[in-house]
A and B are shown apart, each in its own frame.
Chain A
């Protein structure tokens, strides 16, 4: 049996569908364990992605990794899991390592593909500058899957939902406040990203970045100096010392393409670079390039996207 942990507190995320698809493709039946009180009908839709049963402990809110690790360990024991899959998101990063110690089971952190024929699993290393192939030396294997590494796939199938009391105790972490910008797309999960750097000259010019992002349905990101000077929030900083992302489309305006920036974004499927300097290093990593002034190109780009979207309807 393969076991997948998902957090269903805010419904089923794309990351949740990716992990269930991944577990199905590993072979064997798939059980899902989740905290929070998502509706049973909604959880049952995971059947289409390959789950055969969902175990739900509605008494755990998911704020404390030391509770979640007990939940997943109890579910793993119940179903006899040989592979345990997480998304390599903020919850997976907190819980999967704890589980590795609790079960003494090797962890592949940040997998980007299904295991190879020799049993090793590909991960990003050196912040995306290279790949490593990790072998787990234990009978049970834990894998956390980097978001956007595989596409959710419906194979059809039915799934039952069971209440599951994992006896995970109480939470040691008390939550004082939660800030979630309305409608914002979490950067690590975003398929389309519009990013800008120091070439934008000041925070007052980000309107054109946001306009393009809104027209595309993209998340926004930035280079490190832009976050350091406080033009943009820290969580938008991508690169070797920021968030590593692998969207389908990464649009970079006014970013030079320093090696530390590229490290966090070169897993992107397609890269578009807009820069006034034809010699900017980013063009070497780009699929499409525009040598031009972002102040002119971004608004035109937004208009072109709007025309395209209008023509599609």
Chain B
């Protein structure tokens, strides 16, 4: 089974979020990048489990610049066989998805996995776009994934519940919690990652469809109003009269 796992870099979850250039750019000063947790913990680890059980190959792909090679090596250290970097800044979800689609076309991947969203732009867009561009079925936000022959079975979230579904390979699946457990790379993996193939590919000529014009920060909260733990009627009255939420 040949599996393509799309990975993105994302700022470490403890990063201070700030913007520069008149609030038009994310301030990368002092920001540590990690592999986007959904891509790493669920998509990549589940791909590796499937490969370990059934054989095959796990390729990771990202659209980015040389600055992203560190997160690519991290994903290789966890166990991916080889990596592809489309050499262009990731300007929007459409651009990223179409670049990956261009690469994946005709390469015979049985499964294309992504995380359910990135923790920076949170769009949940790339997988669906990729599926449309490659004319493949798409199972969004899957919490379980199994493959038997050419049948892919998933559990996916639906509004207000869960559903077990099946689809024939090849397909695109976005992966969420429940599918696998995080793996910590060991020394051997880290050493091996240094020599695994990283194939840098020139981007296709494509335009983004969207741009972020500016950014802003949420208004600071005014300080907390403390309530006596023995007077919950007061809290309920405040929630009704002052906050007007009940």
Q: Which residues in window 230-246 of B have CB below 8 A to A?
A: 230, 232-233, 235-240, 243, 245-246
B208 within 8 A of A: yes
Interface string of B142-181 (1 = CB under 8 A from A): 0100000000010011111111111110000000111000
A180–B157 CA distance with the chains assembled, in angstroms: 10
Q: Flag if A126 contacts B120 (CB, 8 Å).
A: yes
A296–B231 CA distance with the chains assembled, in angstroms: 12
B218 within 8 A of A: yes
Q: Flag if B119 contacts A127 (CB, 8 Å).
A: yes
Interface string of B27-43 (1 = CB under 8 A from A): 00000000001100000
Q: Flag if A130 contacts B132 (CB, 8 Å).
A: no
B127 within 8 A of A: yes
Q: Flag if B235 contacts A186 (CB, 8 Å).
A: no
Q: Flag if A98 contacts B221 (CB, 8 Å).
A: no
Q: Flag if B217 contacts A94 (CB, 8 Å).
A: no
Q: In the complex, what residue of chain B is closest to A127 when comparing beta carbons? A: B119
Q: Flag if B121 contacts A291 (CB, 8 Å).
A: no
Contact of B177 among A94, A242, A305 (CB under 8 A): A242
A52–B166 CA distance with the chains assembled, in angstroms: 37
Complex contacts, B168 vs chain A, CB 8 Å: 172
A241 within 8 A of B: yes
A125 within 8 A of B: yes
A150–B233 CA distance with the chains assembled, in angstroms: 29
Q: Flag if B239 contacts A284 (CB, 8 Å).
A: no
A89 within 8 A of B: yes
B interface residues, how many (CB within 8 angstroms): 80
Q: Flag if A101 contacts B177 (CB, 8 Å).
A: no
Q: Flag if A97 contacts B209 (CB, 8 Å).
A: no
Q: Flag if A126 contacts B17 (CB, 8 Å).
A: yes
Contact of B133 among A101, A130, A186 (CB under 8 A): A101
Complex contacts, B120 vs chain A, CB 8 Å: 125-127
A206–B107 CA distance with the chains assembled, in angstroms: 50
A240 within 8 A of B: yes
CB distance from A213 to the nearest CB of B (A): 12
CB distance from B216 to the nearest CB of A (A): 5
Q: Flag if A89 contacts B159 (CB, 8 Å).
A: yes
Contact of A132 among B126, B215, B227, B232 (CB under 8 A): B215
Q: Flag if B224 contacts A286 (CB, 8 Å).
A: yes
Q: Flag if B167 contacts A174 (CB, 8 Å).
A: yes
A273–B119 CA distance with the chains assembled, in angstroms: 25
Given contact pairs A216-B246, A266-B218, A64 touches B163 in the complex (Cβ within 8 A): no
Contact of A249 among B93, B212, B239 (CB under 8 A): B239
A110–B124 CA distance with the chains assembled, in angstroms: 9
- Which residues of B line the A interface, CB within 8 A? 11, 13-14, 17, 19, 37-38, 93-94, 97-98, 119-129, 131-133, 137-141, 143, 153, 156-168, 176-178, 207-218, 221-222, 224-230, 232-233, 235-240, 243, 245-246
- Known A97-B129, A100-B129, A120-B214; further 5 A-B contacts with Cβ < 8 A: A13-B159, A133-B212, A135-B213, A189-B159, A286-B224
